[in-house]
Amino acid sequence: MVSSSLTAEQKDEIVQFIRLLKTNSFTLRELCRRLDLESDQRRSLERFLVELEAQGLIHRIKRRRYAVAAKKNFVTGVLNCHRDGYGFVLPDDRLNYPEDIFIPPVNMEDALHGDRVLVKVEPQRKRLRDPQRRLRGAEQAREKPTGSIVRVIERR
């Protein structure tokens, strides 16, 4: 009888393969095909992907599609909502994201205050300013990174 569970070596190989992917996202089927896994190992791979998602290495972005967290700027954190409709996500990974992430009202989706959410961080845009104009108040402060909520991970 052939064992259908993944060995530690196979798990390490899968993690290395995911990190070295040239594409930003993948499906379970694509991963099975590229790693040349047998069909009876598919369920084990699916369970292992859930483990990797819990560790924050990958994120499920659509029904059956996963993305590598570092390549797509995904962050998990707790949402703090403001009564005017916008919110801030306090990232779990404070080393890479020391500042809170601003979520505009249009990007709040169905998330509520205190929810644990998955956020896609948008690249900061540089604002064109008149060099003769003096900067005051909020304009002097560095702009916070902005993002959009991809999905709610856990309701609180």
Looking at residue 119, which CATH number applies to its domain? 2.40.50.140
Which distant-in-sequence residues (6+ apart) come within 8 Å of 35 by Cβ? 13, 14, 17
Largest distance between two CA atoms of the chain: 77
Task: Point out the domain boundary residue: 70, 102, 124.
Answer: 70
pLDDT digits (tens, 9 = 90+) for 87-144: 999 988 888 788 899 999 999 989 999 998 888 888 776 555 555 555 543 443 346 7
pLDDT of residue 139: 46
Within 13 A of 11's CA, how many CA atoms are on the CB side?
13
Task: Point out the domain boundary residue: 48, 70, 92.
Answer: 70
Fill in the amino acid letter for 36: D
Task: Point out the domain boundary residue: 70, 103, 121.
Answer: 70
Q: 19: domain CATH number?
A: 1.10.10.10
Q: Is residue 3 part of a domain?
A: no
Mark whether 77 and 149 lie in a shared domain.
yes
pLDDT digits (tens, 9 = 90+) for 43-98: 888 888 888 887 777 888 777 888 887 666 888 889 999 999 999 999 888 887 88
Q: How far apart are CA 95 and CA 78, in angstroms?
A: 16
Alpha carbon separation from 90 to 34, 35, 49 (Å, rounded): 36, 36, 25
Mark whether 62 and 83 lie in a shared domain.
no
Question: Which domain does 49 fall in, by range?
Answer: 8-70
pLDDT of residue 1: 36
Q: How far apart are CA 35 and CA 92, in angstroms?
A: 31
Which distant-in-sequence residues (6+ apart) come within 8 Å of 86 by Cβ? 102, 103, 104, 105, 108
Mark whether 98 and 144 lie in a shared domain.
yes
